[in-house]
Structure 1
Amino acid sequence: METTPAALAGVLLDLWREILKGSTRDLYKLLAEVDLSMTQIKLLHVLVECETEISVKELAEALSMSLPNASRTVDGLLQRGLVERREDEHDRRVKRVGATEAARVLIDRVDTARLQGLEAWAADLSPVQRAKLLDALSDLPKKERRR
């Protein structure tokens, strides 16, 4: 098999689709329960991954959103107690936002639902297949967390 980036991407997409078959039901159920949009979940993921508060502008850029859309999304999450917002200490025009503990708990629940789906998929693999996959994945570089 050819090992170009495009060939690998195609195989990974097929694998991703296979993993998602049947493994997203619990995740979608959780998302319906908490009544959040995918945009809100993505925004919370970014904030939870950040070690410090970031500006609404940086958040918009990280999510490829318009600044007004990011601001509206933050407003909705602020009302639900999932984000905190404050003025920047050096520039009062800049608003900084961060995830609350409630947001961290929620994202942990989302990640747990995803993990359970992955575990269900992995359970269908043979022990040899699991070992090979684990070996291959353990050599991959880890992405640094946002600061």
Structure 2
Amino acid sequence: MTITDPSADTAASTEQTFDVLVEFLGRLMTTAEVDALDSLFNTEISFSHFRTLMVLAGRGRALSVNELGEALHLSVAATGRNVDKLVGLGLVDRREDSHDRRIKRVSLTDEGHTVVNAHLDSKEEQFRHFVGRLPAELRTNLYDALHSIVSGDYLSESDPVFAHRHHQKVD
């Protein structure tokens, strides 16, 4: 990908901004994800199981097996097998719905939250490391730009996993 640099006299086009944003996010996320996923290789958790944990964390509430399957784009049978494995590992809890005993609700256990938070903490540490390497003026410019975007009405909704962690830290 070739990233063009608009001159100081012209505003960056949507396409130029898109290109540099994709390049930036790709590099940042790849670095953070590689380190964060290293911890998964030493566990019995597959990527499918980990996706299940992340969906449950992101929703912040117990889901029925059907709801969970829809969110994961898996069949009810495949979702049930994922849940069985995660229950066996002590990472999720499966209970009857209080209003309809035919429905099973799945939620993270404390240990499940610990696994998800360890993964997110690893990513956040990589982000902190990146920000810490920036010169002060560039860091301030990045803060100003991102703060304006986050506090404005430019994003349709926040990432549910990070929103979950924010609420968790505040409580």
Q: Could you state the TM-score of these two structures normalised by the residue count of structure 2?
A: 0.72
Listed as ranges, the matches of 1:87-98 within 5 Å are: 87-98=96-107
The change in CA–CA distance for 1:16 and 1:35 in structure 2 (over 3 A counts) is farther
The change in CA–CA distance for 1:52 and 1:10 in structure 2 (over 3 A counts) is same
CA distance in 2, matches of 1:75, 1:35: 13
RMSD over equivalenced CA pairs, Å: 2.5
Q: Show the counterpart of 2:133.
A: 124
Contact 1:23 1:121 in 2 (8 A): no
Q: Show the counterpart of 2:158.
A: 143
CA distance in 1, matches of 2:107, 2:159: 19
SS at structure 2 position matched to 1:52: coil
Work out whether 1:53 is the aligned partner of 2:62. Answer: yes
Q: Show the counterpart of 1:29.
A: 38
Tell me whether 15-24 or 52-61 shows the greater mean CA deviation: 15-24
CA distance in 1, matches of 2:18, 2:123: 21
SS at structure 2 position matched to 1:102: helix
CA distance in 1, matches of 2:86, 2:127: 28
Tell me whether 17-26 or 125-134 shows the greater mean CA deviation: 17-26
Work out whether 1:84 is the aligned partner of 2:99. Answer: no
Q: Show the counterpart of 2:14.
A: 3
CA distance in 2, matches of 1:65, 1:133: 39
1:35 Cα deviation from its structure 2 partner: 3.3
SS at structure 2 position matched to 1:90: coil
- AA of the residue aligned to 1:40: H
CA distance in 2, matches of 1:48, 1:87: 19
The change in CA–CA distance for 1:63 and 1:128 in structure 2 (over 3 A counts) is farther
The change in CA–CA distance for 1:122 and 1:35 in structure 2 (over 3 A counts) is farther
Q: Show the counterpart of 1:102.
A: 111
Contact 2:95 2:104 in 1 (8 A): yes
**Cα deviation 1:51-84 (Å, max 9, x = unaligned):** 3211111112222222222221111101000000
1:145 Cα deviation from its structure 2 partner: 4.5
The change in CA–CA distance for 1:74 and 1:12 in structure 2 (over 3 A counts) is farther
The change in CA–CA distance for 1:65 and 1:128 in structure 2 (over 3 A counts) is farther
Contact 1:44 1:107 in 2 (8 A): yes
Larger-Rg structure: 2
Aligned length: 145
1:25 Cα deviation from its structure 2 partner: 4.0
Instruction: Structure 2 unaligned segments of length 5 or more: list them.
Output: 1-11, 165-171
